[in-house]
Amino acid sequence: MDKRIGFGIAWVVATVLAVTIGVVAVSTAGASLRGRGPVGENVGLREASADSTPGPDPTATKIRERIAGDWGAFVVECQGTYAYGIRTEPAEEKGWRIVSYEEGPDDDVDAVFSNGRNSVDLEVFCNAGRPTVAEIERNTLAE
């Protein structure tokens, strides 16, 4: 009977340890995927020491792309790893409007489009200097 209690305690300890490690790993990976990368994290620091913080490389090639869907389009330009939201083009003929968008420069830029109960949140980052969709989140509000 004492062996069973020992095995039970060991199993509980191992389970708690495994869950804790999993939660920490997912939280860390999730934070980096949600735009808290090297550029996004240091916004306050950049404002405090604007003279010493490096910006976009002025010699880096600028690549501009138009990301489009039924909601309209978001024009994004990359200069190295820095993204710029250039403009939005909501599909007004379908009732879409722009709620907000981020101009950058940042490691990613976002745009939010709305059509009554529906919204689309678009996140774009620079992958090898080219605008790349990180996430398109579609939401529908309940009536």
pTM (global) more than 0.75? no
Bridge pairing between strands 118-127 and 82-90 = unpaired
Whether 27 shows a pLDDT value over 80: the answer reads: no
DSSP 3-state assignment of 136?
strand
The residue to which tokens 């996004």 are assigned: 40
Provide the β-strand partners of residue 121: 112, 137
Q: How confident is the model at residue 46 (pLDDT cuts 50, 70, 90)?
A: very low
Alpha-carbon gap, residue 115 to 118, rounded angstroms: 5
Q: How confident is the model at residue 37 (pLDDT cuts 50, 70, 90)?
A: very low
For the CA atoms of the chain, what is the radius of gyration?
22
Position 44 scores a pLDDT of 40
Residues 124, 135: contact at Cβ < 8 Å? no
- pLDDT tens digits, one per residue of 57-84: 888 899 999 999 999 999 999 999 999 9
Domain chopping of the chain, boundaries = 56-140
